[in-house]
Structure 1
Amino acid sequence: MDGDPVEVALELLRALEHEELSVADAVDRIETVTTHPATTREILDTAEKRGIIEREDGIIRPQGRTYVSFESQVVQKEGEFECRRCGAGLSTGHFIRFDAGDLGPFGSSCIRKVTGRD
């Protein structure tokens, strides 16, 4: 990942294709950017302050979502990678291009999970 982790995670939360998800599931997505607890709290707090999410009773509801375009925002690269979500070895890495920076690599199924397509 490159770019500011808070801004990259905020773009990821903005792009989630879920009507709602648990805080734990949101943290699972955020952990593809950072596993630092204070940064995770900062991301959730900032997302709420900016109106990207609403939080209530352990549920997060993304607001005003803009979905990841797999045609224009997801780039595949060949090489030796480790998936940021599951840790599996990859020969093809999928990266999401956000304005704040690229996030990845992910395997083909994990990128769909991270964005909420599956």
Structure 2
Amino acid sequence: MTFLIDPVLLILFSLVSCGIGHAVRNKTTLPAGKILSVFSLSVIIFTSTSLYLNMWYMDWFWEPFATLVTSGKDLMINSGIFHFETTNTAGLIDALAIIQIILYPLWTFIGLRVWSYFKK
């Protein structure tokens, strides 16, 4: 997960979740698609936040990219493509990261709306 691909992943996961929910609609009365979308959103928020905060239990996630990045925060900010500062991020970079994570539910909502639009 990186800030570059998370919005696209959230939209796609919502679409796939709704597709699964549509496939099992005859087997349950629960809104399975929405439940799976919220679960996907929760997993991505947890993963992205943990990576950005350099939590020790997420080292396994960024270490395969060790030739491109130096930490989970570096992976989240630079994605191995950019070269923004990742050690002293107090201020603008942290604020932008918080805004990005706050917007994650919006991307899930957009995915749900796209599904609703095309399934009418």
- Normalization by structure 2: what TM-score? 0.30
Higher relative contact order, chain-length normalized (CA < 8 Å, sep 6+): 2
Q: Higher helix proportion, which one?
A: 2
Q: Higher strand proportion, which one?
A: 1
- Normalization by structure 1: what TM-score? 0.30
